[in-house]
Each structure stands twice: as structure tokens, then as C-alpha cells.
């Protein structure tokens, strides 16, 4: 069997990008339409500047089971109303696949939600590794004043399911500004998943 060629991909903390990346995508504010609590504040910010709010550069050697995808994400700081900037979030399409995030710079929260609606919010800063176990929905939130830069890695056949968050009316908790910096607030639009949907998630693996 022909072997793949080993590579080195330098992480640029200053630019928040991976060198030698095989792919890159970016999300603008307009890509997050409908996800924030304060739609009037969202509209105002969108009209002011529909800017890039996060970008991902990654290296994808293949999509084979047993292979690995890794990369760097850079998130701008900011808020919509009281709510800090976040990524869309997802569960892995093969839901039993895990992920790790390593903090490079800035201050973030990894917001996690189980299929049954349990919530965890883990602060991530420079040199922290957050382990996202299988079956947890995950979203990154920038609660600092600077770019949040993180390196990540996950099994190459994980895939991403973004619809799971839409179907429940968003994630159960929102990360909002507070006197202590940040706090969790209930998402009033959230609907618990039905038992059949939860069963289907746990059945969804290889």
C-alpha cells in the first residue's frame, strides 16, 4: 500500500492560520442569520459591517476511517447585544467521533450539549486542551477582547451535522456578558429532543 507523505503545518498564532493548509473557509456575520437572540442588534451590526467573524484553515489528508483532520480556527471578538460571537456549532455526522481543541491565544468557551440537553461550558485559554467526547454538540464562543485562536483535530470520517442545532431551536444555553465576564443564559426558543431523535443519534455511528 502506498504511504501518504508526512507533512509539517506551522501554526501562525498571529494570523490564526495553518500553514500548508489544504483548505480554508470563512464565515461572515450574514452566515449566522437567525442564530443570535437579539435580532435587532444582529440587523444593526450586519448593516454596519458584514465582516468575517471566523475562519478555518485545515489539512485534510483524506476522509478515511482512522485518518485525521486538523487545523486552526480564528474567531473575531465581539457581541450581538449581550451575546458573545460564536461558531454555528455541530454534532459529528458520525456522532461517536471525538475532537480536541488546543488554545493558542485569546479566551474562549467551548459550549457543549448532550443529546438529552445537558450543558457544559469549558473555558479555553492558551495551552489548554479541551476534549470534546463523542456525541456532544459543540460550539466555540469568543468571550475575550482579542481574536480567539485554537488548533483542533478530529477523526477524518467524522463529518458535521449543523442541522441538529436548528431542529432544537438553537443550543440550550447562550453565552452572554456578565459582571464576571461571561455567564450562561437560557435560550427561550430551545426545544428538548424527542426520545426517538436521541435514540437515532446514538445509533448513528459506523
Q: Which positions touch Ni ion (CB under 5 A)?
A: 99
d(CA 194, CA 23): 36
Nearest residue (CB) to Ni ion, 45 versus 103:
103
Closest distance to Ni ion from the beta carbon of 93 (Å): 10
Is the alpha carbon torsion for 33, 34, 36, 41 positive or negative?
positive
Nearest residue (CB) to Ni ion, 99 versus 147:
99
Nearest residue (CB) to Ni ion, 42 versus 173:
173
Closest distance to Ni ion from the beta carbon of 169 (Å): 21
C-alpha cell at 48: 454596519
Closest distance to Ni ion from the beta carbon of 90 (Å): 6
d(CA 3, CA 150): 29
Closest distance to Ni ion from the beta carbon of 135 (Å): 12
d(CA 28, CA 54): 7
Nearest residue (CB) to Ni ion, 38 versus 161:
161
Closest residue to Ni ion, Cβ-based? 99
Q: Cβ contacts of residue 116 below 8 Å, gap of 6+?
A: 192, 193, 198
The two beta strands, 52-59 and 23-28, are: antiparallel
Amino acid at each position: 500500500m502506498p504511504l501518504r507523505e508526512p507533512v509539517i503545518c506551522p501554526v501562525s498564532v498571529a494570523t490564526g492560520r495553518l500553514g500548508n493548509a489544504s483548505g480554508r473557509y470563512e464565515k461572515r456575520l450574514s452566515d449566522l442569520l437567525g442564530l443570535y437572540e437579539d435580532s435587532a442588534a444582529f440587523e444593526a451590526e450586519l448593516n454596519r459591517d458584514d465582516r468575517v467573524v471566523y475562519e478555518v484553515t485545515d489539512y485534510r489528508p483524506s476522509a478515511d476511517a482512522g485518518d485525521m483532520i486538523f487545523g486552526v480556527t480564528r474567531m473575531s471578538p465581539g457581541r450581538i447585544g449581550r451575546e458573545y460571537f460564536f461558531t454555528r456549532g455541530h454534532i459529528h455526522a458520525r456522532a461517536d467521533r471525538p475532537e480536541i481543541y488546543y488554545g493558542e491565544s485569546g479566551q474562549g468557551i467551548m459550549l457543549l450539549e448532550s443529546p438529552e440537553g445537558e450543558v457544559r461550558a469549558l473555558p479555553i485559554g492558551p495551552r489548554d486542551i479541551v476534549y470534546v467526547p463523542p456525541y456532544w454538540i459543540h460550539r466555540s464562543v469568543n468571550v475575550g477582547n482579542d481574536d480567539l485562536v485554537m488548533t483542533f483535530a478530529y477523526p477524518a470520517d467524522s463529518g458535521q451535522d449543523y442541522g441538529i442545532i436548528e431542529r432544537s431551536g438553537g443550543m440550550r444555553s447562550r453565552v452572554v456578558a456578565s459582571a464576571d465576564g461571561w455567564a450562561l443564559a437560557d435560550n427561550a426558543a430551545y426545544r428538548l429532543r424527542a426520545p426517538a431523535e436521541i435514540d437515532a443519534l446514538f445509533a448513528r455511528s459506523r
